[in-house]
A and B are shown apart, each in its own frame.
Chain A
Amino acid sequence: MDSPLLDQHARINAVRVDGAKNTRRSFLASLVYPHLPQSPHSSFESVLRATRDIGHYLVQSDLFQSVHARLEPSADPAAKPGDVDVIFSTRERPRFFLKTSTEVGNSEGTASATSRIRNVFGGGETFEANVSFGTKTRRSFNATFTAPVTRTLDTHGELSVFALDRDNTSYMSATETLRGARAVIRRGAVGTRAGQHEFGYEAALRHIGGLKPTASLSVRTAAGTSTKSSLFHRWTRDTRDHPILGTRGVRAQLLHELAGLGGGAAFYKAEGSLHASRVLHPGLLLSLGARAGILHSLSNGIDGTAPTLSDRFQLGGPTNLRMFRANSLGPRDGVDSLGGDLFWAAGVSLITHLPRKPHWPVKAHAFLNAGQLEPLHRHEDGLGSSLRSSVSAALTQPSVSTGVGLIYHFDPVRVELNFGVPLAARTSDGTRKGVQVGIGLEFL
Chain B
Amino acid sequence: MPMATAHPLLTVPPPLAKLFSYFPLKTYPPSKPAKRPIVDPLLWVHPPFPSVPGKESVLSADVECLKWQAHIALRGFRNVSVRWDVSQDGALNGRLPNLKSPSERTKDPDGELIAAQDIPTWIDEKVGALDDLEGYKDVHSRDESHAWIALLEGDVHAALAMAQPLPSFFYHTVLQLPPTTAQRPVESILTPPPAPLSGFASPLPPYGARLSPNAISARYRDAIAALSECVGQHEWFLGSPGPTALDAAAFAYLHVLLHAEDDLRIEVARRVNLVHWEQRIHERVCAAFVPYSASQ
Contacts and interface: CB of A to CB of B under 8 A. Distances in A.
A219 interface: yes
B75 interface: no
Nearest to B21: A433
Contacts of A207: 89, 177-178
Given A163-B175, A207-B177, A302-B85, A427 B36 contact: no
A167 to B, nearest CB: 15
Interface string B22-52: 0111111111111110000000000000000
B34 A377 contact: yes
Centre residue among B25, B34, B92 by max chain A CB count within 10 A? B34
A428 B90 contact: no
Chain A contact patch, size range = 35 or more
Contacts of A305: 33-34
Centre residue among B35, B91, B113 by max chain A CB count within 10 A? B35
Contacts of B27: 424-427
Contacts of A397: 28
B292 to A, nearest CB: 6
B203 to A, nearest CB: 34
A428 B25 contact: no
Interface in B128-179: 175-178
Nearest to A210: B89
A428 B31 contact: yes
A332 B31 contact: yes
Given A179-B177, A330-B31, A375-B33, A434 B25 contact: no
A252 to B, nearest CB: 29
Interface string A171-209: 000000101000000000000000000000000010111
A208 B24 contact: no
B5 interface: no
Given A302-B85, A333-B32, A424-B26, A433 B90 contact: no
Interface string A33-76: 00000000000000000000000000000000000000000000
B33 A422 contact: no
Interface in B90-108: 90-92, 94, 100
B85 A333 contact: no
Contacts of B34: 304-305, 375, 377-379, 384
A338 B33 CA distance: 8
Interface string A422-438: 11111110010110000
Contact of A426 (B30, B87, B89): B30
Contacts of A384: 34
A304 B124 CA distance: 32
Centre residue among B16, B28, B33, B87 by max chain A CB count within 10 A? B33
Contacts of B293: 302
B86 interface: yes
B90 A220 contact: yes
A364 interface: no
Contact of B178 (A163, A209, A421): A209
A107 interface: no
Centre residue among B16, B89, B110 by max chain A CB count within 10 A? B89
Nearest to B174: A179
Interface in A205-233: 205, 207-211, 213, 215, 217-225
B221 interface: no
Nearest to A222: B90
Given A223-B89, A338-B33, A421-B20, A217 B26 contact: no
A419 B86 CA distance: 43
Contacts of A83: none
B83 interface: yes
Contact of A421 (B23, B32, B33, B88): B23
Contacts of A219: 90
Contact of A422 (B23, B30, B113, B177): B23
B12 interface: yes
B180 interface: yes
A416 interface: no
Contacts of B92: 213
Contacts of B94: 209, 211
Nearest to B35: A379
B23 A211 contact: no
Nearest to B22: A421
A369 B23 CA distance: 15
A332 B30 contact: yes
Given A302-B85, A375-B33, A423-B24, A221 B175 contact: no
29 contacts: A177-B178, A179-B175, A179-B177, A209-B94, A210-B89, A211-B94, A217-B110, A220-B86, A223-B86, A224-B87, A224-B88, A224-B90, A301-B85, A302-B293, A303-B36, A304-B36, A305-B33, A329-B31, A332-B32, A332-B33, A397-B28, A400-B24, A423-B24, A424-B26, A424-B27, A425-B24, A425-B28, A428-B32, A431-B23
Given A221-B86, A397-B28, A427-B28, 11 more contacts: A163-B176, A179-B177, A211-B94, A220-B91, A223-B86, A223-B89, A302-B85, A305-B34, A332-B32, A428-B32, A431-B23
